[in-house]
């Protein structure tokens, strides 16, 4: 009798051995060796029986290839400190063809990779360093029912000072009474194993050099400033232009860059001022934040898809849950996805592998399909609908190996 479960377990073990066997080669050449490790196999093993699971099992021995469909969200942030050299290298090793640097700026108006201008207190060791004195809100311990807090910004330090910091897993313990305790709080499905005080923070220009050396392309996000603009004579348009200028200075072709922003005016600026780069500029649609927004009702899309296209926008990027819904026990495209495709917009989405275990519904990123989300294998079911029924051009993931495995199996490049 054919033992499917036994085969799946053997495949997981085989994948682990292959990953271990290739580790020396990976260390020697980050750009040439693609390895997915055991996680995709474990996810396939947890899937419900069916044709998709059979297809994914059939790809167990690879080969796995770098693909632009797989986008490293802040690198490989599930297990590595985001926006560090280590995180970017891990994403490239897992086959991410495109890697993200969230871009913000320092006091001397230099561009650096951080998810927010005001997240140094949760993503670096700044509170335990001499630069703690620069924080706009010093560490305050939990007391009398009040949470511990702090706020530290890149705009309060120079580039030289920024370079002295080390990255850490993005987390804080709001019940902490000490700095050391506050710097913890990492979710139990993540790890601090690769963040032992030495993770290298990156400037935007350094990220360009590193990602290119790893064989990758670029997805820089222009983050909204925490300071009032213009900042010391540095306008929002100066900021948007400087991001593009650093790719031009490095000789990166516009076709290798997907600059993106939640600020539609940034996207429109790139379309107008840098049309070659603007052709692939991505509007991160935050319509989901409006109380009247309904991904099933086109009347709530502001601007509409046709209006965005008329403005020159070619790419739109909502969170994955906005693109899907459920019907008759199946995941299907939402009206939002259908309208975007009808308008001729290309779609990129975010963020896979950011939710932890899925057996209780998947949380925020799975909210529109929570009734079908009861095991970790659903990640591949969602990915399959996004790839073929929605037709997305790429998927941001905190653990790019999952998307790489799927894309290689399905022939997506």
- Tens-place pLDDT, residues 255-266: 999 999 999 999
- DSSP state, residue 389: I
Name the pLDDT band for 23 (thresholds 50, 70, 90).
very low
| CA distance linking residue 81 with residue 169, whole number of Å | 4
Tokens of 380: 């591949």
| CA distance linking residue 44 with residue 302, whole number of Å | 38
User: Which DSSP helix (H) or strand (E) runs through 407?
Assistant: helix 401-410
- DSSP state, residue 147: P
* Of 207, 163, 185, the residue nearest 74 (C-alpha): 207
pLDDT at 24 over 80: no
Q: Residue 9: what pLDDT?
A: 43
Q: How far is CA 395 from the centre of its chain?
A: 8
Question: C-alpha angle 407/318/327, rounded to 5°?
Answer: 75
Long-range contacts of 309-314 (CB under 8 A, 24+ apart): 309/343, 309/344, 309/345, 311/268, 311/271, 312/268, 312/271, 312/272, 312/278, 313/264, 313/267, 313/268, 313/271, 313/281, 313/283, 313/345, 314/279, 314/280, 314/281, 314/345, 314/346
Question: C-alpha angle 325/328/333, rounded to 5°?
Answer: 30
Name the pLDDT band for 3 (thresholds 50, 70, 90).
low
- Of 276 and 31, the one with more pLDDT: 276
Q: Residue 33: what pLDDT?
A: 87
Name the pLDDT band for 285 (thresholds 50, 70, 90).
very high
pLDDT at 225 over 70: yes
Q: Residue 195: what pLDDT?
A: 79
* Of 333, 321, 255, 241, the residue nearest 285 (C-alpha): 321
Share of the chain above pLDDT 70, in %: 92
CATH superfamily of 4-117+201-410: Phosphatidylinositol (PI) phosphodiesterase (3.20.20.190)
CA-to-CA separations, 252 to 27, 216, 246, in angstroms, rounded = 26, 11, 9
Q: Residue 25: what pLDDT?
A: 39
Do 52 and 44 meet the contact criterion of CB atoms below 8 Å apart? Answer: no
Q: What is the 3-state secondary structure (H, E, C) of 4-54?
A: HHHHHHHHHHHHHHHHHHCHHHHHHCCCCCCCCCCHHHHHHHHCCCCHHHH
6: Cβ contacts below 8 Å, ≥ 6 apart? none
- DSSP state, residue 85: H
CA-to-CA separations, 169 to 133, 181, 185, in angstroms, rounded = 22, 14, 9
Least confident of 22-36, 216-230, 299-313: 22-36
- Of 304 and 196, the one with more pLDDT: 304
Share of the chain above pLDDT 90, in %: 91
- Of 16 and 301, the one with more pLDDT: 301
| CA distance linking residue 181 with residue 199, whole number of Å | 19
For residue range 34-67, list pLDDT tens digits in order.
Answer: 999 999 999 999 999 999 999 999 999 999 999 9
Q: Residue 413: what pLDDT?
A: 85
12-25 mean pLDDT? 39
| CA distance linking residue 245 with residue 242, whole number of Å | 5
139: Cβ contacts below 8 Å, ≥ 6 apart? 121, 127, 132, 148, 149, 150, 179, 182
Which residue is listed with tokens 């072709």?
253
pLDDT at 368 over 60: yes
- DSSP state, residue 80: S
pLDDT at 350 over 50: yes
Q: Residue 17: what pLDDT?
A: 37
How big is the chain by its Cα radius of gyration, in Å?
Answer: 21
| CA distance linking residue 44 with residue 42, whole number of Å | 5
| CA distance linking residue 104 with residue 155, whole number of Å | 9
322-333 mean pLDDT? 98
* Of 32, 33, 38, the residue nearest 22 (C-alpha): 33
Name the pLDDT band for 32 (thresholds 50, 70, 90).
confident
What ranges do the domains of the chain cover?
Answer: 4-117+201-410, 120-182
| CA distance linking residue 386 with residue 368, whole number of Å | 13
On whether the pTM is more than 0.75, the answer is: yes
Question: C-alpha angle 93/358/170, rounded to 5°?
Answer: 55
Query: How long, in residues, is the chain?
Result: 413
């Amino acid at each position: 009798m054919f033992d499917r479960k036994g085969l799946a377990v053997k495949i997981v073990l085989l994948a682990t051995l292959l990953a271990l066997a290739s580790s020396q080669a990976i260390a020697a050449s980050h750009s040439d060796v693609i390895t997915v490790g055991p996680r995709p196999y474990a996810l396939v093993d947890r899937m419900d029986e069916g044709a998709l699971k059979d297809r994914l099992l059939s790809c167990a021995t690879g080969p796995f290839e770098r693909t632009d469909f797989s986008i490293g969200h802040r690198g490989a942030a599930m297990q590595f400190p985001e926006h560090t050299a280590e995180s970017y290298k891990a994403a490239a090793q897992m086959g991410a063809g495109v890697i993200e640097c969230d871009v913000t700026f320092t006091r001397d108006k230099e561009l650096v990779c951080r998810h927010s201008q005001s997240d140094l207190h949760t993503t670096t060791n700044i509170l335990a360093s001499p630069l703690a004195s620069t924080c706009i809100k010093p560490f305050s311990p939990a007391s009398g029912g009040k949470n511990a807090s702090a706020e530290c910004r890149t705009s309060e330090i120079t580039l030289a000072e920024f370079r002295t910091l080390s990255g850490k897993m993005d987390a804080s313990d709001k019940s902490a009474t000490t700095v050391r305790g506050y710097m913890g709080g990492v979710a139990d499905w993540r790890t601090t194993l690769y963040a032992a005080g030495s993770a290298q923070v990156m400037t935007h220009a350094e990220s360009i050099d590193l990602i290119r050396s790893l064989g990758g392309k670029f997805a820089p996000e222009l983050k909204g400033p925490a300071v009032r603009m213009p900042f010391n004579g540095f306008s929002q348009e100066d900021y948007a232009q400087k991001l593009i200028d650093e790719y031009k200075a490095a000789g990166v072709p516009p076709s290798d860059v997907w600059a993106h922003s939640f600020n539609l005016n940034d996207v429109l600026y790139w379309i107008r001022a840098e049309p070659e780069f603007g052709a692939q500029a991505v509007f991160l649609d935050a319509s989901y934040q409006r109380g009247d927004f309904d991904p099933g009702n086109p009347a709530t899309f502001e601007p509409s898809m046709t209006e965005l296209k008329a403005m020159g926008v070619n790419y739109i990027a909502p969170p994955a849950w906005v693109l899907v819904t459920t019907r008759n026990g199946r995941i299907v495209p939402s009206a939002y996805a259908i309208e975007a495709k009808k308008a001729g917009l290309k779609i990129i989405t975010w963020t896979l592998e950011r939710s932890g275990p899925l057996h209780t519904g998947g949380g925020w990123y799975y909210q529109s399909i929570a009734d079908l989300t009861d095991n970790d294998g659903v990640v591949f079911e969602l990915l399959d609908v996004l790839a073929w029924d929605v037709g997305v051009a790429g998927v941001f993931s905190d653990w790019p190996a999952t998307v790489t495995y799927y894309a290689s199996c399905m022939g997506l490049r």
